[in-house]
Chains A and B, each alone.
Chain A
Amino acid sequence: MATADTILVQSNGHTLSLSSLAFQGLPSTLCKGCGHNSITSYLIEACKAVGVNPYRTVKFSGIGCSSKTPAYFLQASHGFNALHGRMPSVATGAGVANKSLRSIGISGDGDTANIGIGQFKHACRRNLPLVYLVENNGCYGLTKGQFSATADQHAHLRRETGEENVIPPFDLCLEAIAGGATFIARSFAGDKKQLVPLLKAALNHRGLAVLDIISPCVTFNDFASSTKGWEWSREHEKPLHEVGFVPRLAEIEVEQKEGEATRVQLHDGSFITLRALTHGEHNVTDRSSAFRLLTESASEQEFLTGLIYLDESRENFVETLNMSDTPLALLTDAQLRPSAGVLTSILETI
């Protein structure tokens, strides 16, 4: 039985009862009030809720305050705090080496939109099976507040009177959709109601799930006019819909009742439900609708949050490689090294 302190997870056909401690991590060393801490706690909640097996999950990150957070959740999972901007390549290699593992990657706006934009876009193009969180605060928290490539045009550096950013930003959701990612959402560290179901859905997605989450840096970018601050984000957030997550349903319940929220089925049989609040015309499974939504909301400076795009039909990168059922990391000697006869026959043809 699962209690508040134990979580049931599935592992190779059997059920494990794990202490909820396995989902926790070390105490955070980030600033008090940092948006990244909120995201960590929602991620833990989502992992517990959908029964993520920590033993069969791997965590990755780049470098930044955000990238430190894999130490603060799923302590029973292996983690890899990699290089600045290079998390996707490490996750790609590990995902290929052991296709049976679930991967969670944490990055920052600097880590992804600046130094790592190339690896980010190639991860999108490959549709890597990875939950990819960008904890976006519009600045480099770790190196003391410099602008990142998601800082809005006319944003100010560190304080109201700080230097002005004159270059327009990258919109990571737009980059993701152009790149080929198949689950794209924008959310806000202050919107637990929306973020938790989005995370649950992302954890059950087949390919690359990009979540661009506005995550205020209380130390360097949280003054009144900052579009990445708590106050501004709270006041201006415009959720596209109410998001719900429904685990795999029994056959009878699958049929949708009239008046219910839109349901989109994920590859594993679970559902994400969306009840439109604004932009009711937007269809999350339509790529051009998503492009339109993002470009229009950017020009109107709307802070839209919610699920922007979802495609469950595209194979993920690991599936395209046609690898053996046994993960590469677990192959036997005989599977790894062909026989002496094979060597002889090859040498005869050379």
Chain B
Amino acid sequence: MVYVGVVAHVCGIPTEAIEAGIHREFPGRKAKAAEINIAAAAAGREWAEANLSHEYPYRVEPIDATRDQILIEGNKAAALGVLFGGTSVLTWYPITPSSSLAEYSEDFLKKHRVEPDGKRTFAVVQAEDELAAIGMAIGAGWAGARSLTATSGPGISLMTEFVGMAYFAEIPVVIIDVQRMGPSTGLPTRTSQGDVAKLHLLGHGDCRQIVLIPGSVGECYSMTVEALDLAQEFQTPVFVATDLDLGMNLWLTDPFPYPETPIRRGKVLNAADLERLGKFERYRDVDNDGVCYRTIPGTEHPLAAYFTRGTGHNEKSGYSERPDDWKKNLDRLALKLETARGRIPKPVIDLQPGASVGLIAFGSTHWALVEARDILRDRGVETSYCRIRSLPFADEVLAFAAKHERVYVIEQNRDGQVYHLLRAEVPGKVADRMISVTHYDGTPASADVILAPILAREHAGTVRQAPQVEPIVEEPSAE
């Protein structure tokens, strides 16, 4: 506390502000301790006034810029998404950095999702492992609940078999991956974007998963809400890929808006619908958008029941090993993904007129990128920026890549996972203009690590005339 007093003097923090802070730390019965601490701080200030004559360049002054803003971790923000997204079944197995997400969620649910008779409109199950956590979430999703589980990389590995099955059997479930580094315990306290490609392709055989990628704590909230609706609409696993930096650190943000649209439940038929239609086939593409109708177990109608299986099935969900049934189903699942491509969160694009350099990034890299762009502009490099917010890539992302002479894809993993996914989807000529910039030491990306390779290539701020220059940045080979 003496030190606090010294620092307060040096930086010009008013005594009242220090005292208010101390009182906040020692409320109620601890007020006695507050007095002692205030006295200690005052002693520190007196000493500093008497002994430190030096003028320091740093001042602390109140400003109004953060009025109405809140300070929150991404995991708590996502927990609010769990609450307002209408989650009814939350299953989880503890793992840093996702545990606090489940724990905050449980706290919120216990407070705000209780009926007047004291009964709960939710269930939280701490499973025996991630295999069981996802199995429970999928069982719940199948039975009509809005289910969600949260984990980190090692948990995702254990969930893989179930995720593949849920993709194929078409069961809604939301999985939040708060990414950390590496296998086993890896670097459990460090951040990464190393799971993105794996999430997108998770499963066995041909799987393409929907992945939402929040770039802020606000999006940790809104995308969790959105994921819960998308899972129902597309009857499939939906991932939310956050990371430790977003999830466990406090960020300043505007307060979150209440969801604009009512809860979406997707294509579910009840007994009256079945009676009216006189027919139900679980995997028939009635609307030609790849998304079929389903019924919820417990629906009292002779047409309602169907048998869910990972094995090959025809449109009636009957067992089938016929090649045409199998292929037709996979093609329909591909169409479903195409439908989803246009309905999942669009990228945020800032096009600067005349900029020949395009930057593509996603997730928590955003903040370093904002700073990096300012510095690049000071050094004469004007850039456009596309922040990807979901996989599969929206058409706008591909168009953005095509629009620029050089496209830097910046991400927090070694191999440039999204860089490679993008190259696979754009024409060869566009792919050749893409350059991977990666950062993967476990610390959040800073503007420096983004700037260095870009500036090196962009001739340290001089606008290049000839586009053909030997790349200085190591480009991972595209296979």
Contact = CB atoms under 8 A, between A and B. Distances in A.
Contacts of A326: 121
Contacts of A331: 88, 121
A1 interface: no
B301 to A, nearest CB: 7
Nearest to B139: A93
A83 B119 CA distance: 33
A347 interface: yes
B135 A330 contact: no
A346 B112 CA distance: 10
A91 B70 CA distance: 41
Interface in B317-352: 319
B470 interface: no
Nearest to A67: B309
B382 to A, nearest CB: 38
A122 B133 CA distance: 12
B135 A336 contact: no
Interface string A168-207: 0000000000000000000000000000000000000000
A4 interface: no
Given A55-B301, A92-B139, A350-B71, A336 B125 contact: no
A78 B305 CA distance: 5
A100 interface: yes
B89 A338 contact: no
A93 B131 contact: no
Interface in A52-100: 54-56, 58, 60, 70-71, 75-83, 86, 88-98, 100
A343 B80 contact: yes
B86 A333 contact: yes
A232 B132 CA distance: 37
Given A93-B141, A350-B72, A86 B115 contact: no
A238 B145 CA distance: 45
Given A75-B305, A83-B135, A92-B139, A101 B298 contact: yes
A82 B142 CA distance: 11
Contacts of A58: 143, 297-298
Interface size bucket, A side? 35 or more
Nearest to B263: A333
Contacts of B353: none
Interface size bucket, B side? 35 or more
Given A80-B139, A81-B310, A92 B256 contact: no
Given A324-B120, A350-B70, A97 B76 contact: no
Name which of A321, A325, A331 has the most chain B CB atoms within 10 A of its CB. A331
A48 B317 CA distance: 25
A89 B139 CA distance: 7
A89 B119 contact: no
B121 A336 contact: yes
Given A322-B118, A324-B120, A96 B84 contact: no
Contacts of B297: 58, 77-78, 94, 98, 101
A92 B165 contact: no
A277 interface: no
Given A55-B298, A122-B132, A328-B88, A94 B143 contact: yes
B418 interface: no
A326 B308 CA distance: 25
A81 B139 CA distance: 11
Interface in B272-313: 295-302, 304-311
Contacts of A98: 143-145, 296-298
A227 B154 CA distance: 41
Contact of A338 (B84, B142, B255): B84
A294 B111 CA distance: 46
B113 interface: yes
Name which of B108, B115, B135 has the most chain A CB atoms within 10 A of its CB. B135
Contacts of A82: 135, 139, 165, 310
Contacts of A11: 300
Nearest to B169: A80
B208 interface: no
B203 to A, nearest CB: 12
Interface in A303-331: 321-331
B231 to A, nearest CB: 14
Contacts of A324: 115, 119-121
Shortest 8 CB-CB contacts between residues of A and residues of B: A89-B135, A93-B139, A329-B144, A336-B86, A97-B145, A93-B136, A90-B139, A93-B140
Given A56-B300, A86-B132, A96-B136, 7 more contacts: A79-B308, A80-B308, A83-B310, A101-B298, A324-B119, A329-B140, A336-B263
15 contacts: A56-B298, A86-B135, A86-B162, A88-B135, A89-B134, A90-B136, A92-B136, A92-B139, A97-B144, A101-B143, A122-B128, A323-B123, A333-B263, A335-B115, A338-B84
Interface of A: 11, 16, 22, 54-56, 58, 60, 70-71, 75-83, 86, 88-98, 100-101, 118-119, 122, 321-331, 333, 335-338, 340, 342-344, 346-347, 350
